[in-house]
Structure 1
Amino acid sequence: MTTISDEALIAAARDAAQHSYSPYSHFAVGAALGFADGSVVTGTNIENASYGLALCAETVAVGKAMADGVRGGLKTVAVTGPGADPITPCGRCRQVLNELAQLGGTDPRVLCVGPNEVRETRLSALLPDAFGPASLD
């Protein structure tokens, strides 16, 4: 099993943020998903003039992974954005990440990245008692 380092995953998230389309909020976010096989899928936020149609970086990354057939092995998520403090995934993104994580039976580490600090937590701590595929059985 190949693993990607936290530093490389954070760098991938920061690089993804450079491709943000955020002309309204000017809040460029990047996300990188690290999988057990060593692969990395990135995403960035994409805004829309109809504000409610914006897509978060984590949701874009999960969509890319799922579109490529990835259904498990999510080990680590890195999320970065502007500002002085590390950011965490929003509520919707926590739920979207949870779907992918539950499909593979994982509780991924989440690296909340700021310019000078990285806070590490688990998805289950960000979304306790989560609703997911197992809830429908």
Structure 2
Amino acid sequence: MSSTDLKTAATAIRERAYAPYSNFKVGAAIRGASGAIYPGVNVENVAYPEGTCAEAGAIAAMIAAGDTRLTEVYVIADCPTPVPPCGGCRQKLAEFGDGDTPVTLATTDGAEMRTTLADLLPGAFTLAHMEKS
């Protein structure tokens, strides 16, 4: 399976985002360890902090389907430069992926930037930080 599958899924699902306040629709697609693709969209709420990000929605779909590891991420939005996940979503993605997990950030105009989870979140908080010495 190629990254094109993730791009297609994220691009298609982005149109279903619920963003009546900002009009900033985001689509995300993640590939689980099983190879299945899980899309997600941002869902706004009139009480802004109560909305959810596209990446969080994709992770929730992956977990609900029984996959617990992600192997690739694609995020797309209509913006001037490739859209990065927010800080919270970077931590959420790191929970289910490895540092070398490929991440593609994209615009609806076709610009893409490829990176990894480790580059997006250097010094990620992990389970190892919770272990007592």
- Is the TM value for this pair above 0.5? yes
Structure 2 equivalent of residue 133 of structure 1: 127
Trace 1:91-110 onto structure 2 (pairs within 5 A): 91-101=87-97, 105=98, 107-110=100-103
Change (3 A) 1:106 1:40: farther
Percent identity reads 37
What SS class does the counterpart of residue 5 from structure 2 fall into? helix
What SS class does the counterpart of residue 26 from structure 1 fall into? coil
1:123 maps to 2:123: no
What SS class does the counterpart of residue 22 from structure 1 fall into? coil
Structure 1 equivalent of residue 82 of structure 2: 86
1:132 is displaced (CA, Å) by 2.0
Q: CA RMSD in A?
A: 1.3
1:50 maps to 2:47: yes
Distance 2:61 2:5 in 1: 19
- Which range moved further: 127-136 or 24-33? 127-136
Count of matched residue pairs = 130
1:83 is displaced (CA, Å) by 1.7
Structure 1 equivalent of residue 15 of structure 2: 18
What SS class does the counterpart of residue 79 from structure 1 fall into? strand
1:69 is displaced (CA, Å) by 2.4
Distance 2:62 2:110 in 1: 29
- One-letter identity of the residue aligned with 1:127: L
What SS class does the counterpart of residue 90 from structure 2 fall into? helix
Provide the TM-score with structure 1 as the length reference.
0.88
Deviations 1:76-133 (A, max 9, x none): 10000012221111111101101111xxx56311100112211100010010010022
Provide the TM-score with structure 2 as the length reference.
0.91
Trace 1:67-78 onto structure 2 (pairs within 5 A): 67-72=64-69, 74-78=70-74
- One-letter identity of the residue aligned with 2:96: L
